[in-house]
Amino acid sequence: MEELDCEPAVTWIPGVNSKRKQMCFDWGPGEMLLCETSFNKKDASEKVPSCPFIYIIRKDVDVYSKILRKLFNESHGIFIGLQRIEEELTGKSRKAQLVRVSKNYRSVIRACMEEMHQVAIAAKDPAIGRQFSSQVSILSAMELIWNLCEILFIEVAPAGPLLLHLLDWVRLHVCEVDSLSADVLGSENPSKHESFWNLVTVLVLQGRLDEARQMLSKEADANPSCASMCRILGDLMRTMPILSPGNTQTLTELELKWQHWREECERHLQDSTFAASPRLESLCKIMLGDEATLLEHKELLSNWYHFLVTRLLYSNPTVKPIDLHFYAQSSLDMFLGGESSPEPLDNILMAAFEFDIHQVIKECSIALSNWWFVAHLTDLLDHCRLLQSHNLYFGSNMREFLLLEYASGLFAHHSLWQLGVDYFDYCPELGRVSLELHIERIPLNTEQKALKVLRICEQRQMTEQVRSICKILAMKAVRNNRLGSALSWSIRAKDAAFATLVSDRFLRDYCERGCFSDLDLIDNLGPAMMLSDRLTFLGKYREFHRLYGEKRFGDAASLLLSLMTSQIAPRSFWMTLLTDALPLLEQKQVIFSSEQTYELMRCLEHLASARTGCGEPDAQRLQDDDVETTKVEMLRLALARNLARAIIREGSLEGS
Amino acid sequence: MEEIYAKFVSQKISKTRWRPVPSGSLQTAETFATGSWDNEENCVSLWSIGDFGNLDPDGGFEGDHQLLCDIRHHGDVMDLQFFDQERIVAASSTGCVTVFLHHPNNQTLSVHQQWPAAHHHSGPGSPSYSRAPCTGIVCDNPEIVTVGEDGRINLFRVDHKEAVRTIDNADSSTLHAVTFLRTPEIVTVNSIGQLKIWDFRQQGSEPCQILSLTGDRVPLHCVDRHPNQQHVVATGGQDGMLSIWDVRQGTMPVSLLKAHEAEMWEVHFHPSNPEHLFTCSEDGSLWHWDASTNGPEKSSLFHQGGRSTFLSHSISNQASVHQSLISSWLSTDPAKDRIEITSLLPSRTLSVNSLDVLGPCLVCGTDAEAIYVTRQLFS
């Protein structure tokens, strides 16, 4: 065992007193049953009333959120799409595909976050509102982490573009500036707005220099005394060299230009160009990447990773990926200043900056309350071929382990189980067995649902499960006295034993009622009739009745006889068959030939001798025997008469 | 390119149905009902696709359907039909059949009529009765016909508490769907590949006609009747095959068309444009079958009301085209090849359980908890 990464959280269950009573529990898939036992904890003899409830404890509460269901469903589609990405795709096109998939996942998170936010605002109960708000912040943290992982691991941006990506990342997630900007620009006199300078500072901090410049020009218009200073600072902003996507200049050229620009900024600072306006001077210092000045604006930066990106923008815009973790660590230390300790989110981001994917996934698994995030992120990173070497000391690899956990969570849910199936499909090692175990536990309340489950099993050649599902349905149908349905299901399962059982029920019903039910089915058995001997007999016996009904006595007679001589008919049914022969024997014309009559007689004697040879008699038995004996006598008489007629007819036919 | 709008609704959708537009009006479809299944709490919901297009020419929210109202439904919604403009009939997996009434003034739904144990098993194992899912409904004001897993056929009148007519043990296997052929006659399909025609004027529990697939006994899941040619019936089976039947002749389908890879859950002729047929399946696909030829008469808007005029017109120049219009679904010659099939959903995932078409609008619902709507079917 590895050591624990953190103390497991304690969950209190209201009503259960673990101090007084011992508890017992049982694991289920995704859920746990828990109750108090009648054993007291200490040997105290006092009677403590025990809690009368059995609790169901669910591990994965998020699965039950209505809004998150959309996340699960929509991301399922993306997941399937990702698994189908051609393995042959290589290089740029593959990377572009993967980035697109990553962006799709993020947009789903965002959509979900927005909806959750709307609900949080609309909630009337403040407690519920808070609950939703906390979900919003969790989702937003997910998106933040995912985005950073996308930049560092999927996009793998090189020095130069890396910073541009990080800037976008910060702009996307520290977005209060947009509402602030709208607020200030919407006012009558923007430059007199109380947040005017905050806005300008934030724009500079985020590297949105064009917008900052426009703001400064407003200030210049309103305040002619500092117009020239504003113009100079504005020029500095305008001339700051940045890497633009379409530009072909090399990194070295850029560095050179940037160095010149920085010297110019420094010169202005030394010349005290902005001495008259501390605000403008501070902006200039920010643009020189002065850490002390940056830290003065902690409030506006709001977090250490914003600080990190701003610091890099103005001190090392062509930072290399490998140097990132060094800057990140020092930024975190500086920003927190020893006042507070890093939170889980900080640790996750730091692990990402250190390019330690496994640490990122581990920390996320601990910090987040569901498996959705880690399962999908790990899978995506695995498709980027970043995780192949890593194997766990249990189960298979990490990707599969996380997917299995997530899918099991889905299967525990009343209706999301269908999504889980596809996730299991893409777990090469343990997916199949997990699916087999889970799919059998789906409650089947309608045939339609059963058909869906069957389809899943049939597509995957899970014959054992198909059999068991059909058997369950056949059993249910028998219990409901729906013999036709039961027979259909056992035919579908190719379950000969059960088909025999159902056929027997049909025959018994026939003996009791003297007519067949469910003719539409029995008449249309077709090749399925061969499934079991009894079923064949049922089909053939019904055919006999049809022939008889159509007055095709000759055919009917030979079919009846062949049923007995070929041993298809069960011995217990022979008496019925012989009784069925009676009316044929009594017909005006001779139907059974002498040969056939001998056969019939042999059958009858078989039956009679078997009866006399067994069992001790009792009252009921004697009465039955009485009836039986009468039948046998009648049959013997009829047979003898028929034999006589047949011999005469055959003799006279030959003679003529 | 047809534009399809998707919306995830946090419930697996088992049925989607357009509310009928008043006959003779030029209105297009704008309200549809959905039923959910396999949720802990199922419901029947009404949605509006609204006409936001006028308000927002950029197309920002155009086509996004909004929830009007919903009501809890006990059990899975197995089938759903509009009885008239305001009333919706829902079949439940508990065997219950419920008529819901929509109040447009305050946008609510209420229970209008209910037959709690319309479908049930009565076996020796179950002393009272155990409920059997009701699997299909068809309405023809004022009558409602229901079928179920218990093989029973019920005929209800919306204002009668008791069933007007019940055929017990009408089928030895599960009845999957039902539709009207001509008013007192209905067609049912069952789980052993049979199509049975029943006439309510006849007493007794025997169908007046049984048609069936050949020996394979492949279960049939859905049935729809050609809106103008009442003898033409389309069914969809467990193997995803589309069968076209002519109930006037033979006991076998006129044509079998290889279609989906899994159960075909629904098949619908376009109500006013029956050269078009729509099918959806467990394999997650939704198909548009176009049997109209590529001739200039492709638009068959005339073809419902003014057939005679159209007839003389087409005989004068293109008799063959017209021939295919009359019986394109029944033709057994290679004209089959003229059926053009388009897949309507962009990527297939989980089962498409239900679809409905009305005018240029189509709605479908899936197990992936999404409702898709398009308003430009023929553009």
pLDDT tens across B179-210, in order? 999 878 999 999 988 999 999 998 888 898 88
Same domain as A569, residue A506: no
How many H helices and E strands in chain A? 30, 3
Q: Give the pLDDT score at A170.
A: 93
To the nearest whole angstrom, how far is the Cα of A581 from the nearest Cα of chain B? 29
Complete DSSP assignment for A277-321: -HHHHHHHHHHTT-HHHHHHTHHHH-SHHHHHHHHHHHH-TT--G
Same domain as A518, residue A577: no
Q: Which residues of chain B lie closer than 8 angstroms to A473, CB-CB?
A: none
Q: Give the pLDDT score at B22.
A: 85
Same domain as A173, residue A307: yes
Q: Give the pLDDT score at A308.
A: 95
Q: Give the pLDDT score at B215.
A: 67
Does position A641 have pLDDT exceeding 80, yes or no? Answer: yes
pLDDT digits (tens, 9 = 90+) for A270-307: 888 888 888 888 999 999 999 999 999 988 888 999 99
Scanning the structure block, which residue is given the tokens 């789903």? A108
Same domain as A566, residue A487: no
Same domain as A526, residue A556: no
pLDDT digits (tens, 9 = 90+) for B285-306: 999 998 876 443 433 333 333 3
Q: Which residues of A touch B (CB under 8 A)?
A: 66-67, 69-70, 73-74, 76-77, 80-81, 414-415, 418-419, 422, 445-449, 451-452, 455, 459, 479-485, 488, 491, 517-521, 524, 526-528
Does position B312 have pLDDT exceeding 50, yes or no? Answer: no
- Average of per-residue pLDDT values in chain B: 83
To the nearest whole angstrom, how far is the Cα of A460 from the nearest Cα of chain B? 13
Q: Give the pLDDT score at B332.
A: 54
Does position A533 have pLDDT exceeding 80, yes or no? Answer: yes
Q: CA B342, CA B278: separation in Å to the nearest integer?
A: 10
Q: Which residues of chain B lie closer than 8 angstroms to A455, CB-CB?
A: 262-263, 282
Does position B278 have pLDDT exceeding 80, yes or no? Answer: yes
pLDDT digits (tens, 9 = 90+) for A298-317: 888 889 999 999 999 999 99
Is A433 part of a structural domain of the chain? no
Is A373 part of a structural domain of the chain? no
Same domain as A630, residue A574: yes
Is A215 part of a structural domain of the chain? yes
Domains in chain B with CATH codes: 8-292+337-374 (2.130.10.10)
* Residues 6 or more apart in contact with residue A70 via CB below 8 angstroms: A111, A112, A115, B8, B9, B10, B369
Q: Give the pLDDT score at B315.
A: 31
Do the strands B66-73 and B77-82 form a parallel or antiparallel pair, or are they unpaired? unpaired
Q: CA A17, CA A22: separation in Å to the nearest integer?
A: 8
To the nearest whole angstrom, how far is the Cα of B58 from the nearest Cα of chain A? 20
Percent over 70 (pLDDT), chain A: 92
Highest mean pLDDT among A228-242, B287-301, B318-332: A228-242
Mean pLDDT, range A141-150, rounded to an integer: 95
Q: Give the pLDDT score at A167.
A: 93
Mean pLDDT, range A53-68, rounded to an integer: 79
The size of the A-B interface in CB pairs under 8 A is: 131
pLDDT level of residue B51 (50, 70, 90 thresholds): low
CA distances from B303 to A83, A569, B22, B269, B299 (A): 47, 61, 20, 15, 8
Same domain as A310, residue A174: yes
Q: Give the pLDDT score at A332.
A: 93
Strand partners, B196: B188, B210
Q: Which residues of chain A lie closer than 8 angstroms to B93, CB-CB?
A: 445-446
Cβ–Cβ gap A80/B121 under 8 Å: no
Does position B211 have pLDDT exceeding 60, yes or no? Answer: yes
Q: Give the pLDDT score at A390.
A: 56
Mean pLDDT, range B166-184, rounded to an integer: 90
Q: Give the pLDDT score at A570.
A: 84
User: Between A447, A481, A519, which is nearest B174 by CB?
Assistant: A447
pLDDT digits (tens, 9 = 90+) for A574-633: 888 888 888 888 888 888 888 888 888 888 888 877 766 555 556 666 677 778 788 888
Q: Give the pLDDT score at A1.
A: 45
Query: Which of A101-110, B21-30, B307-316 is least confident?
Result: B307-316
Does position B172 have pLDDT exceeding 70, yes or no? Answer: yes
Q: Give the pLDDT score at A220.
A: 86
Q: Give the pLDDT score at B316.
A: 33
Percent over 70 (pLDDT), chain B: 82
Q: CA A306, CA A316: separation in Å to the nearest integer?
A: 15
Q: CA A258, CA A576: separation in Å to the nearest integer?
A: 106
The residue from A505, A534, A563 where one domain ends is A534
Is A211 part of a structural domain of the chain? yes
Same domain as A311, residue A175: yes
Strand partners, B287: B279, B343
The residue from A258, A288, A315 where one domain ends is A315
**Domain ranges, residue A475:** 443-534
Same domain as A510, residue A559: no
Is A155 part of a structural domain of the chain? no
The residue from A37, A59, A81 where one domain ends is A59
Q: Give the pLDDT score at A613.
A: 57
Mean pLDDT, range B244-252, rounded to an integer: 86
pLDDT digits (tens, 9 = 90+) for B73-124: 999 999 999 999 999 999 999 999 999 999 999 999 999 999 998 999 876 5
Q: Which residues of chain A lie closer than 8 angstroms to B347, CB-CB?
A: 77, 80-81
pLDDT digits (tens, 9 = 90+) for A179-233: 888 888 888 888 888 889 999 999 999 999 999 999 888 888 888 888 888 889 9
Cβ–Cβ gap A482/B133 under 8 Å: no
Q: Which residues of chain B lie closer than 8 angstroms to A77, CB-CB?
A: 347, 349, 368
DSSP, collapsed to helix, strand or coil, labels residue A37 as strand
Is A116 part of a structural domain of the chain? no
Mean pLDDT, range A641-647, rounded to an integer: 89
Q: How many domains does chain A have?
A: 4
Q: CA A525, CA A520: separation in Å to the nearest integer?
A: 9
Same domain as A590, residue A514: no
DSSP, collapsed to helix, strand or coil, labels residue B64 as coil
Determine which helix (DSSP H) or strand (DSSP E) holds A474, and give its type and residue range: helix A463-479
**ipTM for the predicted complex:** 0.88
Q: Give the pLDDT score at A507.
A: 87
Is A497 part of a structural domain of the chain? yes
Q: Give the pLDDT score at B17.
A: 96
Q: CA B136, CA B81: separation in Å to the nearest integer?
A: 9
Q: Give the pLDDT score at A274.
A: 86
pLDDT level of residue A176 (50, 70, 90 thresholds): confident
Name the residue in chain A with its Cα closest to that of B348.
A77
Q: Give the pLDDT score at B300.
A: 39
pLDDT level of residue A16 (50, 70, 90 thresholds): confident
pLDDT digits (tens, 9 = 90+) for B115-124: 998 999 876 5
Residues B328 and B291 sit within 8 Å (Cβ to Cβ): yes
Q: CA A105, CA A71: separation in Å to the nearest integer?
A: 9
Q: Which of A74, A100, A410, A446 has the highest number of chain B CBs within 10 A, making it the mutation to test binding with B? A: A446
Is A340 part of a structural domain of the chain? no
Residue A93 backbone dihedrals phi, psi, to 5 degrees = -65, -40
Does position A65 have pLDDT exceeding 70, yes or no? Answer: yes
The residue count for chain A: 656
pLDDT digits (tens, 9 = 90+) for A314-346: 999 989 999 999 999 999 999 988 788 889 999
Same domain as A640, residue A567: yes
To the nearest whole angstrom, how far is the Cα of A438 from the nearest Cα of chain B? 17
Mean pLDDT, range B118-140, rounded to an integer: 80
pLDDT level of residue A84 (50, 70, 90 thresholds): confident
Q: CA B95, CA B175: separation in Å to the nearest integer?
A: 13
Spatial strand order in the sheet of B352-358? B4-8, B370-374, B361-366, B352-358
Cβ–Cβ gap A524/B12 under 8 Å: no
Same domain as A574, residue A480: no
* A140 φ/ψ sector (left φ>0, alpha ψ -120 to 50, else beta): alpha
Cβ–Cβ gap A76/B369 under 8 Å: no
**Assigned token pair, A261:** 């620009």
Q: Which residues of chain B lie closer than 8 angstroms to A67, CB-CB?
A: 10
Q: Give the pLDDT score at B299.
A: 39
